[in-house]
Amino acid sequence: MTERVVLAYSGGLDTSVCIGWIAEETGAEVIAVAVDVGQGGEDLDVIRQRALDCGAVEAEVADARDEFADEYCLPALKANALYQGEYPLVSALSRPVIVKHLVAAAQKHGATTVAHGCTGKGNDQVRFEVGINSLAPGLKCIAPVRDYAMTRDKAIAFAEAKGLPIATTKKSPYSIDQNVFGRAVETGFLEDIWNAPIEDVYEYTQNPATPREADEVVITFEAGVPVAVDGRKVTVLQAIEELNKRAGAQGVGRLDMVEDRLVGIKSREIYEAPGAIALITAHQALENVTVERELARYKRQVEQRWAELVYDGLWFSPLKRALDGFVNEANQHVSGDIRMVLHGGRAVVNGRKSEQSLYDFNLATYDTGDTFDQSMSKGFIEIFGLSSKIAARRDLG
User: Which residue positions form the known binding site for L-citrulline?
Assistant: 87, 123, 127, 175, 259, 271
Per CB under 8 A, which of residues 347..386 are in contact with a second copy? Answer: 348-353, 356-361, 363-367, 370, 372-386
The answer to whether 247 touches 280, Cβ cutoff 8 Å, is: no
Binding site members for L-aspartate: 119, 123-124
Per CB under 8 A, which of residues 290..329 are in contact with a second copy? Answer: 291-301, 304-305, 308-309, 313-314, 316-319, 321-326, 328-329
Q: Is 130 in the site for a second copy (CB under 8 A)?
A: yes
Q: Which of the residues are catalytic?
A: 14, 95, 124, 175
Q: State the Cα–Cα distance between residues 229 and 338, nearest whole angstrom.
A: 10
Residue partners of 158: CB distance under 8 A and separation at least 6: 17, 20, 21, 164
Nearer of residues 161 and 196 to a second copy, judged by Cβ = 196
The minimum distance between CB 343 and a second copy, in angstroms, equals: 6
346-379: b (≥16 Cβ within 10 Å) or e: bbebeebebebeeeeeeeeeeeeeeeeeeeeeee
Write the DSSP assignment of 113-164 as a string of letters. Answer: EEE----SSSSHHHHHHHHHHHH-TT-EEE-HHHHS---HHHHHHHHHHHT-
Closest CA relative to residue 71, chosen from 320, 274, 278, 334: 320
Per CB under 8 A, which of residues 147..186 are in contact with a second copy? Answer: 147, 175, 186
The answer to whether 314 touches 320, Cβ cutoff 8 Å, is: yes
The minimum distance between CB 288 and a second copy, in angstroms, equals: 4
Nearer of residues 161 and 294 to a second copy, judged by Cβ = 294
Nearer of residues 231 and 264 to a second copy, judged by Cβ = 264
Helix (H) or strand (E) holding 272: strand 266-272
Q: Is 223 in the site for a second copy (CB under 8 A)?
A: no
Binding site members: 8-16, 87, 117, 119, 123-124, 127, 175, 259, 271
Per CB under 8 A, which of residues 84..113 are in contact with a second copy? Answer: 84-85
Select from 163, 196, 231, 232 the one that contacts a second copy (CB under 8 A): 196
**Side chain identity at 30, as an amino acid letter?**
V
Candidates 2-10, 14-22, 135-143, 230-238; binding stretch for a second copy (CB under 8 A): 135-143
Candidates 4-12, 40-48, 52-60, 289-297; binding stretch for a second copy (CB under 8 A): 289-297
Select from 108, 193, 233, 245 the one that contacts a second copy (CB under 8 A): 193
In sequence order, what are the beta bridge partners of 258?
A: 268
Nearer of residues 165 and 175 to a second copy, judged by Cβ = 175
Select from 191, 204, 228, 241 the one that contacts a second copy (CB under 8 A): 191
The answer to whether 282 touches 219, Cβ cutoff 8 Å, is: yes
Write the DSSP assignment of 321-387 as a string of letters. Answer: HHHHHHHHHHTTT--EEEEEEEETTEEEEEEEE-TT----HHHH-SSTT----TTHHHHHHHHHTHH
The minimum distance between CB 98 and a second copy, in angstroms, equals: 16
Q: Is 66 in the site for a second copy (CB under 8 A)?
A: no
Distances (CA, A) of 344 to 97, 243, 250: 33, 15, 6
Candidates 25-33, 158-166, 225-233, 255-263; binding stretch for a second copy (CB under 8 A): 255-263
